[in-house]
Chains A and B, each alone.
Chain A
Amino acid sequence: MNLNLIRKTVSDRWRGISVYAGGLAAYVLFLCALYPTFRKALAVKQFFAKNYPQALLKFFGVKSFDVSSFNNYIVLELLTIIWVVIVGAFVIGFARYMIAGEVEEGTLEFLLSQPIKRWKVLTSEGSVLAAGIAGLVVTTVLSVFIFGKAFGFRVSYAGFLAFAPLGFALFIAMAGYSIFFSALFREARRALMASAAVIFGFYLLHFAAGYSRVVDKIDYLGIFHYYDPLGVLNSGGVPVRDVLVLLAFGIALFCIALWIFQRKDIT
């Protein structure tokens, strides 16, 4: 890694990371402010219980829908879809720019005319992305702690602390795919589309696994098979195997991207 490049990347990207972090904190605050109404409104509770497909509940690891539990509420309203989409968008957007975006905009020619090895460029920018992911995960967890406590809810501190490494690992895996496509394609738009398509494909695969035994057998190939936020919140223990598998996905794809980038013509 190269500290000089890390400094440059941070100063170039900190605004984007701050906007995402601020948005997440505001969304958690909004959910916390809304939760008392949800808990009290039986009709709403019944509506959700009736209208959430069983496969979707299974997908998120919810055995019995119960919004009287703040943990369940946060899982269903934040950690299952919205959070994955928001942080995923940040990850894909950042990674897309790392190679394909810089090639397209022409900034990579300037960057690689400096005395720095290509693997250092990718590891330095990758480390800023990893730090950004960690920052967004920590922001989310801290927001739940702070706003949950402020509103007087029963927050599973141990559960959310155990969830943080899993959330981090999920987005590291996403980053691996996104950086791989960024190295593979010359156009940033194609890299973005390919990353989004593959990740959405994994999401659908995991969803379909709830319906089909055949699909269920190959679900382990996708990253969402290893992502069970409710299970972690309820158990309060870090799912070490799942975290390691997701990190392995991310690191393996990053290494392939590095191999491609080392040989890539900058035109």
Chain B
Amino acid sequence: MVNSVISTESLTKYYGEVRGIEDLILEVREGEIFGFLGPNGAGKTTTLRLLMGLMRPTRGRATVLGMDCWTESVSIKEKVGYLPGEVALYSRLTGDSLVRFVAGFDGRGEAEAKRLASRLELDLARKTGDASRGMKQKLALILALMKKPPLLMMDEPTSGLDPITQHVLYEVLNEYRENGTTILFSSHNLPEVERISDRVGIIREGRLVTTEKIEDLRSKRLRHVEIIFADEVPAGLDTLPGLAEFEEADKRVRLKLRGDINPLLQKMSGFDVVDMSVSHASLEDVFLEFYGQGKRETT
């Protein structure tokens, strides 16, 4: 039986009259990478802050590693690496000083911090006030990861990172997962969540709309495809499996396609293509196409 590392029951947070999250039921299992996906303002950061004991729930309850998030938050923090969404570090201190500070609570992590700094190509001797956004993000990642905690909670971990560093981070997270770390991370980037998660929870307007295995999500993936043919448009494009929208004008075809893209490629073979673009649907499109019921529940 797989243990729950994070579990919430009707977790709700209101900021005065303003809804943060409402009746959120979430379960993250031991050893998995769980992607917490939602547009800005959906409640991802609120959820993570509640789990870290930075805020008190308006109602409901959350446990992390079997401990109550509010009353036992210090014990939780001994076992959790946390990356805030908006990285803010003491500008007069260097990376080294901050690493020593984080390590100073229990004497662990300095060696791993140096290894990670080398991996992410970060100079720890630099003052954080002089660092770029990307460098601050790297440092905050190192501070969250350096103790090799059993659980990592990260709010938009790739924010501000260049593509090469993002790739290194994905590798590091996979290594941590292989060593038994459970990872919960939030994102509004669907391809990123697809790339590294085992399961994904989709939050919208403060409520968890669905929880999916990543394979199931892939089968529902929505793409925008635009093709310009040189001569004629192949027949049968408007009957492709998973077709959500179809538009044809002259030799140009626009379509929205969910799931497997191979049937489209097969239809196109043998035809002369001038240009073709494929882009992922926005998160909002995914919600509207696949979780319309969830939308109605929340409105």
Residues of A within 8 A of B (CB): 4-5, 7-8, 11-12, 15, 105-107, 109-110, 112-117, 263, 265-267
Sample (29) of A-B pairs whose CB atoms are under 8 Å apart: A4-B101, A5-B101, A7-B101, A7-B104, A12-B92, A12-B93, A106-B86, A106-B88, A107-B90, A109-B54, A109-B84, A109-B86, A109-B88, A110-B84, A110-B87, A110-B88, A110-B140, A110-B143, A113-B54, A113-B80, A113-B84, A114-B101, A115-B78, A117-B74, A265-B54, A265-B55, A266-B55, A267-B15, A267-B54
CA A114 – CA B105 in complex, angstroms? 8
What residues of B have a CB within 8 angstroms of the CB of A113 in the complex?
52, 54, 77, 80, 82, 84
How many residues in B have their beta carbons less than 8 Å from beta carbons of A?
29
Contact of B90 among A12, A15, A109 (CB under 8 A): A12
Set of chain A residues within 8 Å of B224, measured between Cβ atoms? none
> Which chain A residue lies CB-closest to B78?
A115
> A-contacting residues of B (Cβ < 8 Å)?
15, 49, 52-56, 74-75, 77-78, 80, 82, 84, 86-90, 92-93, 97, 101-102, 104-106, 140, 143
A-B pairs, top 3 by smallest CB distance, nearest first, are A106-B88, A4-B104, A113-B82
Q: In the complex, A228→B97 CA distance in Å?
A: 43
**Pair B54/A266 contact, Cβ less than 8 Å:** yes
Contact A267–B102 (Cβ < 8 Å): no
User: What's the A-B contact tally at a CB cutoff of 8 Å?
Assistant: 71
Give Cα A266–Cα B77 distance, bound, in whole angstroms.
15
- Closest CB-CB distance, B45 to chain A, in whole Å? 9
Measured CA separation A15–B67 after assembly (Å): 40
Interface on chain A toward B: helix, strand, loop, or mixed SS?
helix
Decide if A11 touches B49 in the complex (CB within 8 Å). Answer: no
B contact residues around A115 at 8 Å (CB): 74-75, 77-78, 105-106
A265-B86 in contact (CB<8A): no
Residue of B nearest to A5 (CB): B101
Chain A residue with minimal CB distance to B93?
Answer: A12
How far apart sit A117 and B86, CA to CA, in the bound complex (Å)? Answer: 22
Q: Cβ of A15: which chain B residues have Cβ within 8 Å of it?
A: 92
- In the bound assembly, the distance between CA atoms of A267 and B92 in angstroms comes to 23
- Measured CB to CB, the closest approach of chain B to A211, in angstroms, equals 45
List chain B residues, Cβ under 8 A from A12.
90, 92-93
Give, as a whole number of angstroms, the nearest-CB distance from A5 to chain B. 8
Residues of B within 8 A of A263 (CB): 56
